[in-house]
Amino acid sequence: MNILVINCGSSSLKFLIVSIEPETTGDDREVCLARGIIERIGGVSLLTFQREGKPVFRHAGTIANHEAAVRRVIEWVDSANPTLVHGGMSGISAVGHRVVHGGERFTRPTIIDESVTFAIDSLEYIAPLHNPPSLAGIHATRAVLGPSVPMVAVFDTGFHATLPERASRYALPYELSLKHGIRRYGFHGISYQYLLSRYCNLTKTPLEKMALVAFHLGNGCSAVAVKGGVSIDTSMGFTPLEGLVMGTRSGDIDPSIFSFLAREEGLSAEEVEEMLNKRSGLQGLSGQGRDMRDLLERERYDPRVHLAVEIFCYRAKKYLGAYLAALGGAEAILFSGGIGEKSPEVRTRICEGMEWCGVLIDPLRNKELIGQEGEISSEKSRVRVFVIPTDEELIIARETAACIMQAAVVSSLPSTARSVHQ
């Protein structure tokens, strides 16, 4: 089964083509055929494609929108036939799409039909930065491939459906929360699924015995507490705005600041929300952008940039302590995402001062692991610390294959049995 994965950002499209044999086990069950990314959609775009065992291909060109980006990916797949996918796009069994917010309705991967696209669209108001690009990718793929190729939506929020009410409920009038579906949903769930899978493989730890804290630190940032292999608390909430300081998002703030800024600055609710999502975080604090690599260079001589980095790391450290308390201790801490994978300095700052709970980083190991998988904790550390580069696209491919296989099994059942499974 050949699965095409489409992961759309606001101005980017990542893709993966993987061959999966659902009925087999072991390392040869999955073969990555190709992956790539199209950046800066809407202008002069950069295309980066990588085929298994082949040199990286890069090309600059104008790509106007997500539909054009999808068409470019499909053209590339067809041009690589038959060495890539036998039959080109006709050899693609299904397409998996990352969707950030599934609301209360979608807690597991779902085959996409008209009602599903409508529901995803209806959730734009609580994920305005994320759901529209996903929907654009879905519409673009359908326009290019037609209705015959099944598509599956895999939701970031699904992983956190296990949150207990004490962690998911806000202290609002209970009836209002129920009426409007106001709760903490959590995000980066697909990334966390991959991290747990890799951690299990690396340490041979059964999911049911797992107790750890994981960080996904990139332009968007979050933390999760995992116990027994499931999410029991996470930093992002009703929307991806809550929690840690991020590239352009504020993270936690006093809710009264919202109305204060609206009143004092003469801003609408939409304008305040835009500021908190797109002009705050590292960018707003530093005034020098949101790229952590640049900020770490600048902080040596710019006090404002130094403050931004300090706040970023301090906020993460607070969540680490909180989640260690919620778990009653943890066996491991995992770092992932662009910053988590590539910034030894940030990892050090988050973990320093945590010796009291058994967290000790080996400076040399930490410095050496940039964008690579491995353990960075000291031999004396009671809590193991790992860097694990994430692979959301691979999880989406796995979930898509499983969803298609399950649908095939259900459709083959008698109608009476089918209703039980649906």
What's the predicted TM-score (pTM) here?
0.91
Q: Which domains are present in the chain?
A: 2-162 (3.30.420.40), 206-390 (3.30.420.40)
pLDDT along the chain (422 residues), means of 10: 89 90 66 88 86 80 87 79 65 92 93 94 82 89 88 96 97 96 95 96 92 95 97 96 96 97 96 94 96 95 98 98 97 96 98 95 96 96 97 95 84 56 52
Any idea which residues carry the catalytic annotation? 156
- Per-residue pLDDT, 342: 96
What HEC string does the chain produce?
A: CEEEEEEECCCCEEEEEEEECCCCCCHHHEEEEEEEEEECCCEEEEEEEEECCCCCEEEEEEECCHHHHHHHHHHHHHHCCCCCCCCHHHHCCEEEEEECCCCCCCCCCEECCHHHHHHHHHCHHHCCCCHHHHHHHHHHHHHHHCCCCCEEEEEHHHHHHHCCHHHHCCCCCHHHHHHHCCCCCCCCHHHHHHHHHHHHHHHCCCHHHCEEEEEEECCCEEEEEEECCEEEEECCCCCCCCCCCCCCCCCCCCCHHHHHHHHHHCCCHHHHHHHHHHCCHHHHHHCCCCCHHHHHHHCCCCHHHHHHHHHHHHHHHHHHHHHHHHHCCCCEEEEEHHHHHHCHHHHHHHHCCCHHHCECECHHHHHHCCCCCEECECCCCCEEEEECCCCHHHHHHHHHHHHHHHHHHHHHCCHHHHHHHC
What per-residue confidence (pLDDT) applies to 420?
A: 44
What's residue 83's pLDDT?
64
